[in-house]
Structure formats: C-alpha cells, structure tokens
Amino acid sequence: MQDLTHYLGGAATAGTSGRFADVYNPATGEVQSRTPLASAEEVDRAVKIAAEAQPAWAAVNPQRRARVMMEFVRLLNRDMDKLAEALSREHGKTLPDAAGDVQRGLEVVEFCIGAPHLLKGEFTDGAGPGIDMYSLRQPLGVCAGITPFNFPAMIPMWMFAPAIACGNAFILKPSERDPSVPLMLAALMEEAGLPKGILQVVNGDKEAVDAILDHEGISSVGFVGSTPIAQYIYSRGCAAGKRVQCFGGAKNHMIVMPDADLDQAADALVGAGYGAAGERCMAISVAVPVGEETADRLIEKLVPRIERLKVGPYTGGAEVDYGPVVTAAAKENILRMVEGGVEAGAELVVDGRGFSLQGYEDGFFVGPHLFDRVTPDMEIYRKEIFGPVLTTVRAGSYEEALKLAMDHEYGNGTAIFTRDGDAARDFASRVNVGMVGINVPIPVPLAYHTFGGWKKSSFGDLNQHGPDSFRFYTKTKTVTARWPSGIKDGGEFNFKPMD
C-alpha cells in the first residue's frame, strides 16, 4: 500500500507527524493508500517556505505570471486523462464527471490569464492643482485554501489560480479522502514555470486546519464544505485577523411550472439530482411541481428515467450514470436519512435501499431514491443529504413554490422551468438565492462570472472566481501624488525640491 506525501518547496515530502488517514477505493471499499496528516509544525514549515518565495513572485510582472497560467492550461489538457483516472479512483465518480471536474477548474485558470487587465488600477489626472491620484492592486502575501472531497481538481484551481495570478503564494489543504489530484496539480504548476514554494500542498485534518487559521503568516483563507464547518472556519479565521471566504451547504429547489416542458424538466432533474451520486453543492435535491396535475405527470415521467439509471464503478464505461459515494460513513448517513423520510411519512416512490452491485458488494454504492409528498418539516427536506436522493414537495401555487425556496436556510442555487417569461423574470428578481437557473437545472456561472450562494450557504463578502476572486486576493493601495511646478511665468524651468 502506497503512502502519499505533502508537496513542500517543490518536492514530494513525507509526513513527519506519524499520523495517517486511509484513502479508499469507493467502488471496492478497499484501502488503496494512506495520506499523511500534517502537524502544526509542518504547516509552519510550509508557511515559512511560502513567505520566503512570495516577494520575488510578486515582483514578476502580471504578464509573465499569466504565461505560467497559459502553460498550465496546456499541461492540464495534456494530462486530462491521467488526472481524470486518478480522480475517479479515489472519489468514485465516473470518468466523464472526473474530466468535467478538471475542465471547470481549467476554465478558471484560463480566466486568470487575463491577470494583466484584471489587476489594473484606476487613475485620475488632475485630481487637484498639480495632483494625480491612482490605485494599485497588490497581493496579500501567503494565502491558504481548504477544499472538499467532491471536486478535488476544480475547487483547488478556483482558489489557487487567481491567488497565484495576483502574486500571492498559496498553501492548499485538500480533502484527505482524495488527495492525489491536488498533489499532481502542484507538480504541473511548477512544470509550467511556477517558482518552487509558491504552491504547496499540506494534507491533514482538523489539526492542520486550525494551524492554518491561527498562523500569523497566512493572510487569507478560503473554504468549501459543510455549513457548520464553514461557520467555524469563518469565525476563527476572522478572529485571527484574516480575510476569509467560506461556502457551505445547499438545498437547491427546482420549481416546475404547469406550462413547463415536462420531458425537459424530468431529464434535467435526473441529471441534476443523481449525477456524481448527488455529491454536488449545486445538485438539485428538491423538485417543486406547481399544482397536483403537474406533480402527478412529473412523477410519472421521473420514475422510469430513474429506474433506468446505471450505477457502477468508474471502470464500467460510458453506460455508467453515476458511481459510489465517497466513504462508508457517507453511505450510512444517506440511508439513515432515507429511513427517516419513510418514518416521517414521505412516499418513497423509487426505493434504492436494497441496491447491491455484483462483484462490488463492499463498495460504497447507493441506489437512486425518489420521494414524493415531502413536507417542509421533514429532515429530508431541511438537511442536505448529499447523495442520490430527490425529494418532491408539491406546491399549490407559484407563490407557495417561491416561498419554499426563499424560506429555506440555504441559498446556494435554484431553478425554474417554465415557458412564461414573466414568471421567470419575477422568480429571478425576487428569490433570495445566489445562483438562479431559468430552464437550466444547475446554474453554475462560467469562469468570468462569480460563483457564490446566499444565506447559510456563504460566509464572507466576496465570491469565488470571476472578478471577485481578484478582489479577494488583492488589497488596494491608493496614491495621491503632487509634483510642485518648477516653471516660472516666463517659461524658464526652475526646479526646487519640496520642503
């Protein structure tokens, strides 16, 4: 069994804490490697290396930093298959899903190639007599990111690419459940020309997280994960004087109006609800059909589509729709919540509790589930399940459907399916959710727009990628300059130094 490493100062570095976490193959349930869990001393070593390397990198002009990003994009495309395979092996998602994970991160790197433009400041000529005023966007120093298991390529790149393009050094603490791809990304960045020490990977658990949050040498922290942990990291990081952005849980509603194309809506719900085994913060987990007739027809269309889903290992080929969940504990929690939904009185229309895959009986596979007649007081509605479980809450009117999305404590993403432009426009304007889809089930913005939820889905003032990322990873300095005139009335130059 292989022991993985950290990546410090440009080299794979063995852990010294003596503590390790098992990394599983989710399809078989077998331990395939171990990842070291860093001590506070190891985090401190990474910070010192980064702090030493960062000033020289900040002094590199933005165009040359952008060229590193350009080469990194080329290397990502070159190694796409290798990265996807490594990601699938540890996470369990299908190869197309894994390649999409890398691709969405790559697109943010492409956006960061525009760093020379995005880092331009403002200038006012003649703000006063002989006075000019201008602003500079300067890097923070050493930044850190704590990223989740469900997107081990995309979310790290969403963080470290803009941070590094801005001239910072970056310490990445990826999930200990699937750490191989982040290590590969760090090596590729240095192959692209990034100086050693600017991007480092420190594997770890809560001890490493707390060391990052408390370290005086780290200026900012980004996080994606569950809401309770997001609140903890935001509070502790801010108390330590850091700039912090944290993104938490979600419960994404898709409103289906009576005039919607129900075949299109059913296809969207299946893809958005069950893709990647539902382990996505933007997964649709609540369908809200408006009207009993709409609900009955939607359920009728959903059931055969869900029953046709193929669940299997990532090695199963293109016919596999989704793979296992990431750990045995995740599987256990999903099935516990399903049982709770049944006990609460929800109607389990598609029951995946008995699912077992021949030859992979010890894998972490969960069959697809569909609930109908769920009510807002039920746990399966209130809490994020993070698995292949779609719940249906029937609404009597558009206003009732809108209220469901607005009253929920999470506000990450939402969608409406309708042919009515007025209803769609009203929904987009009024709903208190950060990302809205109109006949689009998963409204994740492209890299040049910003990604972020509202309410208990997000903590901090700025969002991920897009222009907000360059604002988050820089601080603004404003300069007011006055050059006293040395020209006499007759035109003769007579320079006098300022007092």
466: tokens are 């897009």
Residue 301 has pLDDT above 60, yes or no: yes
Q: What is the CATH number of the domain that holds 187?
A: 3.40.605.10
Mean pLDDT of 289-317: 97
Residue 493 has pLDDT above 90, yes or no: no
pLDDT at 499: 46
Residue 409 pLDDT level (bands cut at 50, 70, 90): very high
The DSSP bridge pattern shows strands 6-8 and 123-128 to be unpaired
3-class SS of residue 392: strand
486: tokens are 């040395």
C-beta atoms surrounding 355 within 10 Å: 14
Strand order in 284-289's β-sheet?
347-350, 369-372, 389-392, 284-289, 252-256, 413-417, 435-438
Q: Is residue 50 part of a domain?
A: yes
Residues 303 and 229 in one domain: no
Residue 132 has pLDDT above 60, yes or no: yes
Q: What is the CATH number of the domain that holds 271?
A: 3.40.309.10
Q: Which residues fall within 8 angstroms of residue 377, CB to CB, at 6 or more apart?
A: none
Side-chain-side CA neighbours of 200 within 13 Å: the count stands at 32
Q: Is residue 72 part of a domain?
A: yes
Residues 307 and 159 in one domain: no
Q: Is residue 465 part of a domain?
A: yes
Residues 180 and 67 in one domain: yes
Structural domains of the chain, count: 2
Q: Which of 246, 99, 69, 298 is nearest to 167 (CA)?
A: 69
Share of the chain above pLDDT 90, in %: 95
Q: Is residue 484 part of a domain?
A: no
3-class SS of residue 362: coil
Query: Which residues participate in catalysis according to the annotation?
Result: 281
pLDDT at 19: 97
DSSP state of 250: -
Residue 187 pLDDT level (bands cut at 50, 70, 90): very high
Residues 205 and 165 in one domain: yes
Mean pLDDT of 418-432: 98
Mean pLDDT of 232-254: 97
Residue 489 has pLDDT above 80, yes or no: no
Segments forming the whole domain that contains residue 351: 252-438
What residues form DSSP beta bridges with 252?
Answer: 284
Q: What does the radius of gyration of the chain's CA atoms come to, in whole angstroms? A: 25
